[in-house]
Each structure stands twice: as structure tokens, then as C-alpha cells.
Amino acid sequence: MKCPICKNEMEKGGIFVNSIYVYWYNEDELKERSLFLKARVNGEPIGKNNFLTNTTKIETAYYCKNCKKVMGIFDVADF
């Protein structure tokens, strides 16, 4: 995959979170303080949750070494 910023090739990988939930919020919600976001449950959970290990894995992320940017295509979690 080509980086949309610098056009260099991006490295395919993923994101691993040592927490059970990773959420997507819209732009207006992100302007709120992070403590309020943490308490909210209306965000869209993304990634594959493993309740036994309390982790979330997102396998479709790409990293540009030149720009130091990560971008991805994330599935909304299906509970």
C-alpha cells in the first residue's frame, strides 16, 4: 500500500492493545476531554477482542517509516 502523504510503500502490520476495548469516536466527540470519552459507551468498538487475555488486535494497519504515520482499515467489533 502506498502512503497517501509521501507516496512511499507502507509496511503492513497491525495494532495490539493491552485493553479489551478500542473505540472510534466522531470528530466532535473527540474534542471532549479524554476522561469523558473513557466513561462513554457510544463509540464504535473496533478490532478483535479477546476477553480471556484482556487484549484487542487490529490486523489491518499500515505504517509509513518515512512519515511516521499509521493508517488502517478497521472492522467494527461484532459482539
pLDDT in tens, 49-64: 888 988 888 888 999 9
- 45, 58 in Cβ contact below 8 A? no
Residue (of 19, 62, 25) closest to 40 by Cα position: 25
pLDDT of 37: 60
Residue (of 55, 54, 67, 66) closest to 14 by Cα position: 55
* pLDDT cut 70: percent of the chain above it: 85
